[in-house]
Amino acid sequence: MEANELWLWLVPVALLPVFFAMGWFAARVDMKAVLKQAKSIPGGFYTALDALVDKHSGRAADNLAEVIAARADDAETRRLSLTLGKLYRQRGQNDKAIVLHQKLLSSPDTVGLEQAQTRFELGQDYQAAGLVDRAEQIFLELQHSEMASAAQQMLLNIYQQDRDWEKAIELAQALRHGDQSYQFEIAQFYCERAQTALFQSRPEEAEALAREALAVNRKCTRANLILADAAYKQGRYQDAIDACHAIEKQNHEYLGMAAERLYDAYDALGRAEAGLAVLVGYAKTFPDLDLHNVIYEKSLLINGEAQAAQTVTELVRQKPDLAGVYRLLGVHIGDTDPARRADMDMMRAVVGRQMQKAVMYRCRHCHFKSQAYFWHCPACNKWETFTPNRIEI
């Protein structure tokens, strides 16, 4: 092997210790930087974090406030302050959150995106404190900032809270883009306006608004319920019937809400028996519908007690549940031997109490339960999430 070739092999071998030394030195430098940064984090920060994990938000807020007070006013401190403000608001300490965010905004260093974020938090503070006008003003001013989208969402919540449905419709239409169509929300806003018109004896206006809702969302069952009510009030009974039947094609689960109006429209046309037959047919086809009570009451008017009892007994046997058993006990209690009637009354009372606890409407989104039906869940503020028929919880 020539001398030159030998040097080509020996040089890399000779440099290996140098490479190892450089790598070791670099690792030491990086480790020192990490340790220095870790030591710069105040112990109070970890204490606050532990308190949050342990669900002691009050102690966490106090510890985080101490950390912020001990730090210089820089971007990281202001970011921690935003977190503290959220924690205050979550705890209902809206006055502290407002003071904190106002102080941040008064700093000349709070500019650009940071200022928009702080103003957005302040708007939420005002809303949580019930100062809705101030919150609305801030969110309106943020519509041309980096927080525009989030601010518009908060405005939409405010308009729904204030039941300002015209502004809600206008804003939701402006927010429509891509997969976010807001069709369910906009249709419900129109229905809210239509419902108000019905209450104020303006059925023609209610009908027009309900049709606007269907134009936005053709599967809006509430719109057809309103159309049925509006048509009935105007004496257009066949139109009311047609609107009720349209619900079957949209979502049969909502037919129970139309049952009373459907029968009344048939009755107004002198076809009460046909109306009852339609309801019985729905109950047999869709056993989950909550129709036992209305069928029994209408059958009682047309066919008498014996036939009404037989009809509802057959329906309950098809799908027995607490509500059906409660109705069945009430139907047959009159036929019971007087000596055992007290026991029947007691059993019906027990079933009735259990129904109050276990048979309810439930939000499919947040699982909020209620004896009353809501189109707009009061817990999670979602639309059309309640089960249209009471269910056993």
CATH number for the domain that contains residue 252? 1.25.40.10
- When pLDDT is cut at 50, 70 and 90, the band that residue 220 belongs to is very high
How many structural domains is the chain composed of?
A: 2
102-129 pLDDT per residue, tens: 988 888 888 888 899 999 999 999 999 9
Domain shared by 353 and 313, yes or no: yes
Domain shared by 240 and 201, yes or no: yes
Residue with tokens 């006008």: 133
**Which helix (H) or strand (E) element contains residue 179?**
none
Please give the pLDDT value at position 20: 52
337-376 pLDDT per residue, tens: 776 777 777 877 887 777 777 788 999 999 999 989 999 9
What is the overall mean pLDDT for the chain? 83
Tell me whether residue 378 is in a domain. yes
The tokens of 121 are what?
């938090």
Domain shared by 274 and 330, yes or no: no
DSSP 23-51: HHHHHHHHHHHHHHHHHHS-HHHHHHHHH
Task: Find the domain containing 366 and state its range.
Answer: 300-393
Kindly report the backbone phi and psi dihedral angles of residue 74, in degrees, each rounded to the nearest multiple of 5, phi listed first. -135, -175
CA–CA dist 8, 10 (Å, integer): 6
Domain shared by 259 and 342, yes or no: no
Please give the pLDDT value at position 355: 74
Domain shared by 242 and 191, yes or no: yes
Q: Does pLDDT of 143 surpass 70? A: yes
Tell me whether residue 87 is in a domain. no
Tell me whether residue 222 is in a domain. yes
Tell me whether residue 155 is in a domain. no
pTM: 0.77
Domain shared by 188 and 268, yes or no: yes
Domain shared by 272 and 304, yes or no: no
Q: What is the chain's alpha carbon radius of gyration, rounded to the nearest angstrom? A: 33
Residue where one domain finishes, among candidates 279, 314, 340: 279
Q: Which residues are CB-neighbours of 116 under 8 A, at least 6 positions away?
A: 142, 145, 146, 147
Tell me whether residue 305 is in a domain. yes
Domain shared by 188 and 219, yes or no: yes
Tell me whether residue 173 is in a domain. no
Question: Is the CA virtual torsion 223, 225, 228, 229 positive or negative?
Answer: negative
Tell me whether residue 187 is in a domain. yes
CA–CA dist 268, 265 (Å, integer): 5
CA–CA dist 238, 261 (Å, integer): 12
Residue where one domain finishes, among candidates 279, 308, 328: 279
Domain shared by 250 and 331, yes or no: no
Residue where one domain finishes, among candidates 279, 311, 333: 279
Tell me whether residue 356 is in a domain. yes
Please give the pLDDT value at position 32: 46
